[in-house]
Amino acid sequence: MKGLDRAFLALGALAGLLGVAASAASAHVSGADSLKTAAQFLLFHAPALLALAALSATGTTHRPVTRLAGAGLVLGLTLFAGDLALRALHGTALFPMAAPIGGVLLMGGWLLAAMAALIPTRR
């Protein structure tokens, strides 16, 4: 398994950890709907990152596109969930339009994952 695939495994596990932590924190913060949403997105995308790493490492899908899909999910999660969590916990935004940009990157990551499955691989 290459370094980039290992990085996606680690980032997927980190997304899961942060999702659990955000879920727990949202139980103790008043008005934590944004934090709950951030937690859900982290938890929904953590297994996707693990799967993309495995698919890339085994060559089951088109490796460069699969890795690009993973990068889109990681960056999208960072912006989307990060902005929502920061707003919920500190009342400030990451930067203007961070969450919408992150959402678009997440959608792009999923589209790239679909493309990676459809592009023939060389074996």
Q: Coil, strand, or helix at residue 43?
A: helix
Query: What is the predicted pLDDT for the residue at 4?
Result: 87
pLDDT for 123 equals 63
* Angstrom distance (rounded) from CA 84 to CA 67: 25
Average pLDDT, the chain: 94
Higher pLDDT, 103 or 120: 103
- Tokens 């993309």, located at residue: 52
Q: What is the pLDDT of residues 73-82, one digit of tens each?
A: 999 999 999 9
